Structure 1
């Protein structure tokens, strides 16, 4: 059984390694981060029982990280701050702000272990993960999250727009949860309008009585009736046929439906949330979508930006997916190499969150590496014309071996980015072409593995 999950933020490699070894011996599961910003994304993505952070960090001090996340409204796990430069005044200030402990280096390690054990003994999974964090950590995601409580259960209908795979249903489910002010579980009925066969659409949406048509051997409630008292989510609403749009509009306005073969109307009351990746306004002008239905469903419109426009969410989402895969497979979570993080940020993500989830899941299942390299996630990328050398040192490798591996990996990445052009790659690396060729030879990056025409052109011109 995996023990309590703790987050360590420490940029001193000796101190960090020592703490990780001790905590693991004590039965804790430890994620070690060198910087505050990487740790911030991990804290929002994982269910940590405790965060143990050094105060002085290269990118952002540990106490500043705590205050920043607190001011942003995040519900945080217990924080312990450690420093070699403590003052009584600062310690008192941080304890007043909610920090659980403020310890001075060098400290009593057994006592620290006992403190962490006491903080984790009653920890419950997901106690600090809030609905406000579920959409992402970017400004765009947080602005959406702040709007949800103001419209949930109050707007007669909400239209969510955005490209395919951006998380429109996640937002719809958040609206549904925020509208629930009781302890009674309300139904959430999700319908993919594009997947409903036209010949069955009316029966699926409005239901039917027994004997209404051949094969109707029992009564069935339709989507609108199933959603009574809850939320009806119509995904890809732009795919509805014009006749069905007319019937649906009347039912939404009158809050009543009539099953096929029925003689009486049935009252139904639900919150309506629709989503689309199409331009409904243009469809209205082209008479492909009813104008009256368009104005009926977009009382409030929420736009979910594509992943390429909110790069802050990429690493955060990747961490969540990796953590979920580790729990599902009952194995330690993999980590992301810095170059992998760079590729994740630079990639355009045409498939948005759905594509990111697919690539992370594939990498976690297939890669033998504890540290995911760029090639583990982007091996099938059409831009990848050079296969990376997947050999990478383990966690116990000497520093010089790890540095050599990072240099090789970075050179290969840059060669791929510039399609094998030696001059452009050397300029980007700020070294000479001769130096680049020497490094390629030392790292066994063979010219034959690069696009041949590019390499030949460089040799001739050089």
Structure 2
């Protein structure tokens, strides 16, 4: 479980914070000096570091620097500071710290900051480890899919392209299998010509058509006892929809060229990024099939609507990119982590995966820097929003890029942009920079 490393030399403050964390169900290791905390921090045991800047043996800033020097990347770090060290805290933010809080502070304010920095801390201990995301919407989807495994009814997964519909279908299979071998057979209905889709799904007998020199079981038979995933179901022709509906109603299939109905038992999962109700209205999707497959409906929101999942997904995707020489694993620089979290991700997880894999391939070191990422491609097209919204997005990206180029020096950034410091601050507040 993700936990907090608390570094605070004041015994009253430290004990109070540790007790409050435990009341919130957050695991916390409390150290009264940086020297005590450092060995555990170097083992990578924590999800967040919460440290006072002023400590008896070394400053919180020195502790932060040592972690960077030891190749720990940027552990999400929240600093406690008195009024006299606010400038020091601001400097740490520029170097990658997540946030700071000024003493005296309200504990609810502290918890709110920690939830923003590291949402994983506040997951209920009894919950299963997240698979589809840590956002509330994705945790609810996981629960919904777990409940669906109790019944042999179709599951319909909707959502935009790249949002993780097939991943959700695989999660459903894994929950259904409970650790036992179980087939997961998938097909993209939009990628197969309609004339071939029937044979793909239902199989064919020997001699059923030219080139059918042997009997070939279809995907329904291959998935018997497991899960059949029909992706892009909304692209299926009306004729194929009728044949699919018959199979679902009778729990049988008939191979192309065959005369017998063969019993099959599959858990059907369908997915589409199309509005099926709209297709029903325009006559391109069967209403009876819609009601047959829409027993359990899961709608996956775009990544832009669940920003807390962005860093979680990015780190999971990065962990799946092993270095070819088996040396130190890849890690994001602080600038990259911040940039990833600010993107709209119009292509969702698929786009993120492509971008991270490309950066890993082009990187000569284990730390991925901002220059490796093809930043302009993440901007949405003007047609995706009104002109004002698009112009604001472009302005935000430009200001963000100049801030990074000028190392967050306000005077330099304002000069580069040709605006006043006051105007720059106003725009930074407006865009959350």
1:215 equivalent in alignment to 2:211: yes
Find the aligned partners of 1:425 and 1:70 in 2 and give their Cα distance: 37
Find the aligned partners of 2:168 and 2:372 in 1 and give their Cα distance: 30
Q: Which runs of 5+ in 2 are unaligned?
A: 1-41, 52-59, 80-99, 102-108, 380-393, 428-433
Which residue number in structure 2 is paired with residue 268 of structure 1? 264
Which residue number in structure 2 is paired with residue 205 of structure 1? 201
**Per the alignment, do residues 204 and 33 of structure 1 end up closer, same or farther by CA in structure 2, a change over 3 Å counting?**
same
Find the aligned partners of 2:409 and 2:369 in 1 and give their Cα distance: 14
- Matching of residues 25-104 of structure 1 within 5 Å: 30=72, 33-35=75-77, 72-73=123-124
Which residue number in structure 1 is paired with residue 29 of structure 2? none
2:245 to 228, 245, 249: 249
Cα drift, residue 216 of structure 1: 1.0
Which residue number in structure 1 is paired with residue 280 of structure 2? 284
**Per the alignment, do residues 347 and 243 of structure 1 end up closer, same or farther by CA in structure 2, a change over 3 Å counting?**
same
1:308 equivalent in alignment to 2:304: yes
Greater displacement, 207-216 / 149-158: 149-158
Cα drift, residue 379 of structure 1: 3.9
**Per the alignment, do residues 251 and 407 of structure 1 end up closer, same or farther by CA in structure 2, a change over 3 Å counting?**
closer
Find the aligned partners of 2:330 and 2:155 in 1 and give their Cα distance: 38
Find the aligned partners of 1:335 and 1:68 in 2 and give their Cα distance: 20
Find the aligned partners of 1:73 and 1:60 in 2 and give their Cα distance: 19
TM-score, normalised via structure 2 length: 0.66
1:15 equivalent in alignment to 2:15: no
Find the aligned partners of 1:167 and 1:190 in 2 and give their Cα distance: 14
Cα drift, residue 191 of structure 1: 1.1
**Per the alignment, do residues 187 and 430 of structure 1 end up closer, same or farther by CA in structure 2, a change over 3 Å counting?**
closer
1:224 equivalent in alignment to 2:220: yes
- Matching of residues 72-151 of structure 1 within 5 Å: 72-73=123-124, 132-151=129-148
Q: Secondary structure at the match of 2:255?
A: coil
TM-score, normalised via structure 1 length: 0.62
**Aligned 8 A contact 2:73 2:332 in 1:** no
Cα drift, residue 17 of structure 1: 5.4
Find the aligned partners of 2:371 and 2:324 in 1 and give their Cα distance: 23
**Per the alignment, do residues 131 and 214 of structure 1 end up closer, same or farther by CA in structure 2, a change over 3 Å counting?**
farther
Find the aligned partners of 1:137 and 1:35 in 2 and give their Cα distance: 20
Cα drift, residue 238 of structure 1: 0.3
1:344 equivalent in alignment to 2:302: no
Cα drift, residue 200 of structure 1: 0.9
1:172 to 169, 172, 179: 169
**Per the alignment, do residues 430 and 296 of structure 1 end up closer, same or farther by CA in structure 2, a change over 3 Å counting?**
closer
**Aligned 8 A contact 2:345 2:378 in 1:** no
1:152 to 143, 149, 170: 149
Q: Secondary structure at the match of 1:199?
A: helix
Find the aligned partners of 2:275 and 2:331 in 1 and give their Cα distance: 39
Which residue number in structure 2 is paired with residue 298 of structure 1? 294
**Per the alignment, do residues 319 and 328 of structure 1 end up closer, same or farther by CA in structure 2, a change over 3 Å counting?**
farther
Find the aligned partners of 1:294 and 1:250 in 2 and give their Cα distance: 13
Residues 230-264 of structure 1: per-residue CA shift (max 9 Å, x gap): 11111110010110100110011101111122222
Cα drift, residue 330 of structure 1: 2.1
Cα drift, residue 19 of structure 1: 6.9
Across the two proteins, how many residue pairs are aligned to each other? 326
**Per the alignment, do residues 34 and 240 of structure 1 end up closer, same or farther by CA in structure 2, a change over 3 Å counting?**
closer
Find the aligned partners of 1:285 and 1:329 in 2 and give their Cα distance: 56
Find the aligned partners of 1:74 and 1:323 in 2 and give their Cα distance: 24
Cα drift, residue 149 of structure 1: 1.4
